[in-house]
């Protein structure tokens, strides 16, 4: 399982796509630790095992994305 961001370097005020790759057709729960807003684009992984969310930072600093992948 992995989490990637596009662009890889996220700047303050710039939206980014966060992509989780895991098991296909599973419910996902996104968690953000840090400043900003994380909006899931889907509540499940697709047939390729991917799910995405939109992240908009609210200031400089570190953030951590966590994804729980269930049944």
User: Residues 13-47: pLDDT tens digits?
Assistant: 899 999 999 999 999 999 999 999 999 998 999 99
Q: Is the peptide bond prior to 7 cis by the omega test (within 30 degrees of 0)? A: yes
Query: What's residue 12's pLDDT?
Result: 85
* CA separation for the pair 29, 27 (Å, rounded): 7
Query: What's residue 59's pLDDT?
Result: 87
Note if the pTM is more than 0.85. Answer: yes
């Amino acid at each position: 399982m992995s989490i990637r961001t596009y662009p890889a370097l996220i700047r303050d005020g710039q939206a980014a796509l966060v992509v989780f790759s895991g098991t296909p057709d599973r419910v996902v729960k996104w968690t953000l630790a840090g400043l900003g807003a994380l909006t899931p684009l889907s509540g499940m992984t697709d047939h390729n095992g991917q799910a995405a969310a939109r992240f908009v930072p609210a200031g400089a600093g570190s953030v951590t994305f966590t994804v729980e992948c269930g049944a």
